[in-house]
Amino acid sequence: MSIESDIRDKIGQFERSSNVQSANFTPQAVPFVLPLIDVCTILLCSLAGATAYQLTVGNPILDLTPQFAVGLLASLFYVLQMSRNGFYELPETATHRVEVRNIVVHWFTTGLLLALVAFLLKVGVAFSRGTFIVFCFLTPVALLGMRKVTKIVLTEAISRGMIGRRDTVLLGELNEMLALKPQDLLAACGATEVNRFALSREGDPETRIAADARTIELLADFVRRHDCRQILLALPWSDSDRIDFVRDRIKALPVAARLLPDLRVRSLTSLTWSGRSRTFAIEVQRAPLSGVQRFVKRLVDVLVSSLALVFFMPVMALTAIAIKLDSPGPVIFRQSRKGFNGKQFVIFKFRTMTVQENGPTVMQATRDDVRVTNLGRLLRSSSIDELPQLLNVLRGDMSLVGPRPHALAHDNYFESILSDYAFRHHVKPGITGWAQCNGARGATPSIEHISKRVKFDLWYINNWSLWLDVQILMRTAFEVVRKHNAY
């Protein structure tokens, strides 16, 4: 009990320190601030280069608007390249090494793209070649200088605790965690201190497993409450049983997990942590969607569901009236489901049955189920009963596309018999999904049925793209017309 109490005390300390740190500046702002700095640098170089060149050759300074437009286009090309390769993300931006080669290559690639655009649009004659050359050679010097300055400022801010990482936690054996130096954590996650969860040091295997399970439960609760995006594992690489145990326990969490080099590996190698390609850590679990992808998906959800609600409002109003006239009971059926990261929410559907089960025992609807009302059969076969879930999408509980959520009773049962089932909670549940548009719709009477559906859901999570969501929505429309397995 003393060990568990010590762990809880340490968790409380780190939570409090994390709240203090994150009050100053959040690491999520770094990928937005740094591109803005580069954009301003490129624009200033564009204007300064044009002005300096014209003054040097004795020409009057004309309208700088075209030069501003060139700088804006150049900054767009450059920032897109840098963003695509992760050079605005922590921890890369907090390491001391300036990526000279990458910055120079990306900038001169930008110059070639500008020359190509000028050639295709036949606007090259409107710009001075001398101005363009000065711009091309002045800008990389300024970008390299600003990159060095921002790295110094970021490193200093992190070391002083002005930037805290509430989105990263460290889980591991106590000796391994204590051996990690501040610069190791700085290179691994862009912070010198993160929230730590120490596993048990009990000698008895059964006691240790039980204590580890409780610690990981505390970690999972912290991850869900603080929306963490990454777990760093500090474990001896020789202890494969413990690594497998931890990996199995955290797989339900929609976060990236990386196994850091242990004491022995670090002592046997001269590998540094400073370079992007040389950061030595094993990816145990990949995060399902990046921050940008989640933002894009959420934006589409809000826009499309808002338009859909307006379009289907007359249908929904008539359906509500028909349900009231058809049978006694509420218009909307509410049931608890698990969503993203295992968080519970209440799903909305038009009531189609005479019962409203929402407890430890829920019986799935079957073909010719006597509990389904006459109107309910029509609503279920046409999928009109799912329309209120557009409100769940607007609230953020669901997405338009994703794994279909099941009742809690079924969810808990499926998790106990299928090892990969928990991965479905790595994304928000959807009104429709890859499984549904491939015919895996309706009840799941056997393990084979749910196993097939899980395989479809995992494929969707691992291959997500905006175009895939569009395809699924289009194919779902055809499935609704077919009424396959809809009862």
* Beta strand pairing call for 256-259 and 282-285: antiparallel
A 10 A CB-CB count for 367 gives 9
H or E, element range at 477: helix 466-482
- State yes or no: cis peptide before 66, omega within 30 of 0: no
**What is the third-level CATH fold of 2-19+165-285?**
Rossmann fold (3.40.50)
Spatial distance between the Cα atoms of 411 and 405, rounded to a whole number of angstroms: 8
Per-residue confidence in pLDDT tens, the chain, 487 aa:
444 455 444 444 444 444 434 435 566 677 788 899 999 999 999 988 888 877 887 777 666 788 888 889 999 899 988 887 778 877 677 777 788 999 999 999 998 988 888 777 766 555 677 788 888 899 999 999 999 999 888 877 776 666 666 678 999 999 999 888 877 777 677 676 788 999 998 888 889 999 999 999 999 999 888 888 889 999 999 999 999 999 988 988 888 899 998 888 877 765 555 444 445 678 888 877 877 788 889 999 999 999 999 999 999 999 999 999 988 889 999 999 999 888 899 999 999 988 777 766 677 776 777 888 889 889 988 889 999 999 999 999 999 999 999 888 888 888 878 878 888 888 999 999 998 888 776 666 677 888 888 899 989 988 888 889 999 998 888 877 766 655 5
Looking at the DSSP bridge assignments, the partners of residue 407 are: 337
Strands 332-338 and 344-350: antiparallel
CA distance 334 to 356: 8
DSSP one-letter string for 363-383: PPP-TT-TTB-HHHHHHHHHT
Phi then psi for 56, rounded to 5 degrees? -65, -40
Q: What is the pTM of this model?
A: 0.61
Q: Can you tell me the distance from the alpha carbon of 94 to that of 82, in angstroms, rounded to the nearest whole number?
A: 15
Beta-carbon contacts of residue 76 (< 8 Å; ≥ 6 apart): none
Q: Which ranges in the chain are annotated with CATH 3.40.50? A: 2-19+165-285
